[in-house]
Amino acid sequence: MLKVQETWRHLRQQPLHTQLRLLRWNLPMIVLALAALHQLFVQTVIRPLDSSLGWWLELLLYTVTGSIVSWWGVSYIAKTAARQAETEQNLRRAFIELEDNHQKLLTLDRYGQYIAAAPNEDEVYKVAVQAPTHLAEAQSATIITFDEDKQTLNLAMAWGLSPAYARSLRNHLDHGVPAERCRTCSTLHAHVESDCPLFGGVHDEALQDGIQSLVCVPINTDQERVGVLTAYFPSADGPKEEQARLLNILGGVIAFAVDSLRSRERQMEALHSLDDVSRNQHTLDVLAAQTLQTAMRGWKTQAGAIFLYQSQEDRWLCLAQEGLGGFASPRFAFAQETAQRAFGEQTLILHPAIPDGASHDLGSIAALPLITEGEAFGALFLGAKRKHGLLPQHSDLLLTIAHQISLAIRNAQLNEEVQQTAMLRERYRLAREFHDGLAQTLGYLGLQLDRMERMFQKKQYNKIEREINETRQVVRSAYMDVREAIDGLRLRVDDPEQLAYNLENYIRDFALQTDIEAHFHSSPEHLTAPSHITLQMLRIAQEALTNIRKHAQADRVEVQLSWSEGQIELRVADNGVGFPDSPQQQNGYHSYGLTSMRERAESIGGRLSLVTGPGQGAVVTVIVPMKQRPAPADAPNADLPAPLPASS
């Protein structure tokens, strides 16, 4: 009996399909065993009794045992069917969840492709800020970057936030929220009532939007957090575990794309900077130091040197070096040896991952020959402490850098002569213009004075009066010639301070040309600003309105210009369709207008933010610090120059 109970207990511990299989195999034996026990009991206990009583007992036994067996069979079948139905339901739910995860992975892959193909950082953020709503069922999302100069938070992009919440959040961050806490935050999840800096001061607006919590996905480049992707959720728990994993993967994709774009930007800036360096420096030593710093900055290396080979004396000269130590240090010796080898082989030497334990303590290095007109005359060495700091895909840019440095060094000795020649040519041009224009006019005026003197002696006063009028016209003409010559020597900036007036004129012309209802408000009314700020603000407004005309499908534009608390704010808002809500529609928006506006804002010490969402239009805000209060200005005269034309 114990053996049967143990067998039954073991059977019930098995999976359902195993139980069914064992029962199907052993059911005949079980039935025979039970029948044998039943017959044994009847033959040994009941049959020896009185015949009439035995018959009733046997009938009763059959009835009881039959009922028990039937009840047990039906119960077991019912339980088995219920468990099978539950298993099927679990499998169905698992399949649905698996299908949902598969679709989210496909969506993540699609977003990753668009992010990787983005031509600039703004395009990366514009696509990435939409992803949490599709991957993690977030209600809205923002991209928060760190202001490197002020060490504060900056709202770079917003998606799905209500206009009131977006405005409150931007105003909150514009008051200078320190970035250090977000840089070092490890929780990355906050409730709306917490002391999270992204919820501070905007709790009411968040609750009105139905937001209960947020999750931050850090954006790390080169082991440094440069911003966060923040997803807002209507529940306090935030995303599910699998959704959080998808957001973390998305954060890695964003970080890689931003790091690649910034690296490429640094390298391209290094290429462009070499032209300026070669033009502005006069001595070979200073030129070499500047070009080396430019190359090291482009690849974020910690060591570098420029070596020249003096063939007449058969010796090497180190024109400039950084991070190599003294001439006797192992790092300097390694750099010189590698540079000489690149010079001898006249080819690029690149090691992206140097094994640990080397005395020079460098993880990756590159050495390139300096060649002009087919002749090598030196070598450039770059070294980074981290491995894979210099990669084979950098080869073309490295060779281009080496070529630029070669040209710069070769041309350095001719720089002074070229400048002297240019100066002489400019002096000759000015001398010729003054000789052909002003000098002849002055000669003519001298002759006129002599004639008027003779007329005066002869008392020909009527003729003198006519000659004076003619001379006055000649003097005015000469004055205009001089003014044109002066204006030709300097950059002409029309109305360098009348920011509000020029902006209002441009917006009025914009409305007339496009039939878009445009409104302008300035506080103070005749707001003025320094000329460089005025020019860049006008260009930013021009770019924003041009983008509205091309893409927004808007029929109303609001432009606000104000000064308060030591800063000028320009706000351009439209009631258009906003940015597309899916990456597939981003192709038509791969313009550089947003990047151009951001670069113009940063060139005058300001920052730009964009708030948009499906069907919400777009709001471009530019804030430029200007501590000095704008000087009071009268209304401009009607004869002021016309505003800037609309860009194509």
Confidence (pLDDT) at 635:
47
Q: What is the pLDDT of residue 642?
A: 37
Is pLDDT at 375 greater than 80 in this prediction? yes
- The tokens for 245 are 């994993």
Amino acid (1-letter code) at residue 253: V
Instruction: Please indicate, yes or no, whether residues 558 and 425 belong to a single structural domain of this protein.
Output: no
Do 236 and 134 share a structural domain? Answer: yes
Say yes or no: 438 and 306 in one domain: yes
Q: Which segment of 328-332, 517-521, 540-544 scores lowest on mean pLDDT?
A: 540-544
| C-alpha to C-alpha distance for 162 and 608, rounded to whole angstroms | 19
**Is residue 639 in a domain?**
no
Q: Assess whether pLDDT exceeds 80 at residue 212.
A: yes
- Taking a C-beta distance cutoff of 8 angstroms, is the pair 394, 270 a contact? no
One domain, residues 486 and 515: no
Q: Is residue 108 part of a domain?
A: no
Whether residue 322 is found in the same domain as residue 443: yes
Over range 292-299, report the average pLDDT. 86
Confirm if 570 and 621 have CB atoms less than 8 A apart: yes
Cα 114 from Cα 586, distance rounded (Å) = 9
Q: Is residue 270 part of a domain?
A: no
Model confidence over 591-635: pLDDT tens digits? 556 877 888 888 888 999 999 888 788 999 999 988 766 665 554
Range 245-269 average pLDDT:
83
| Range from 16-25, 67-76, 438-447, 588-597 carrying the lowest mean pLDDT | 16-25
Peptide bond into 524 cis (omega under 30): yes
User: Do both 427 and 296 map to the same domain?
Assistant: yes
Structural domains in the chain (count):
4
Domain stops at, among 457, 490, 523: 490
pLDDT value of position 392: 87
Instruction: Tell me, yes or no, whether 206 and 234 share the same domain.
Output: yes
CATH number at residue 507: 3.30.565.10
Residue 104 falls inside a structural domain: no
Lowest mean pLDDT among 274-283, 399-408, 458-467, 521-530: 274-283
Distance CA 140, CA 166 (A): 11
Average pLDDT for 422-444: 63
Encoded tokens for 107: 């969506």
- What tens digit of pLDDT does each residue of 97-141 get? 778 777 888 888 888 888 888 888 888 999 999 999 988 899 999
Instruction: Point out the domain boundary residue: 490, 511, 530.
Output: 490
For 314-342, give the DSSP string: TEEEEEEEESS-STTSHHHHHHHHHHHHH
Q: What span, in angstroms and rounded, lies between the C-alpha atoms of 269 and 288? A: 17
Comparison of pLDDT for 366 and 545, the residue scoring more: 366
- Cα angle 575, 576, 578 (rounded to 5 degrees) comes to 115
Q: Is residue 23 domain-shared with residue 72, that is, in the same domain?
A: yes
Residue 434 falls inside a structural domain: yes
Residue 275, domain member (yes or no)? no
Sheet holding 315-322, edge to edge: 315-322, 303-310, 375-384, 364-372, 349-351
Q: Which of 490, 518, 546 is the C-terminal boundary of a domain?
A: 490
Same domain, 431 and 520: no
**Is there a domain that residue 584 lies in?**
yes
Task: Give the integer Cα–Cα distance in Å for 610 and 130.
Answer: 13
Helices 284-299 & 395-434, crossing angle to 10 degrees?
A: 130
Find the domain containing 414 and state its range. 281-490
**Percentage of the chain exceeding pLDDT 90:** 20
- The position carrying tokens 């420096």 is 281
CATH number at residue 127: 3.30.450.40
Residue 307 clears pLDDT 90, i.e. is over it: yes
Q: What kind and span of H or E run contains 558?
A: strand 556-564
- Which are the contacts of 471, defined by CB distance < 8 A and separation ≥ 6? 445, 448, 452
For the stretch 394-428, pLDDT in tens is 888 888 888 888 888 877 756 655 556 646 655 66
The answer on pLDDT for 511 being more than 50 is yes
Cβ-based burial of 293 (10 A; exposed 0-12, middle 13-18, buried ≥19) = middle
Helix (DSSP H) and strand (DSSP E) numbers for the chain: 17, 15
Same domain, 175 and 66: no
| 392 and 519 belong to one structural domain | no
Whether the pLDDT of residue 224 is over 60: the answer is yes
Place of tokens 């094994």: 355
> Contacts from 329-333 at CB under 8 Å and sequence distance 24+?
330/359, 330/360, 331/303, 331/359, 331/360, 331/361, 331/362, 331/383, 332/305
Residue 281: pLDDT above 60?
no
User: Please, are residues 40 and 65 in contact by the beta-carbon 8 Å criterion?
Assistant: no
Stretch 490-495: mean pLDDT, rounded? 46
Single-letter residue type at 368 = L
Longest dimension (CA), the chain: 182
Residue 274 falls within a domain, yes or no?
no
Q: What is the mean pLDDT of the chain?
A: 79
- Asked whether residue 316 falls in the same domain as residue 234, the answer is no
In this model, does residue 262 exceed pLDDT 60?
yes
pLDDT at 571: 94
* Residue among 372, 311, 380, 312 nearest 341 (CA): 380
**Which residue's structure tokens are 């540079």?**
339
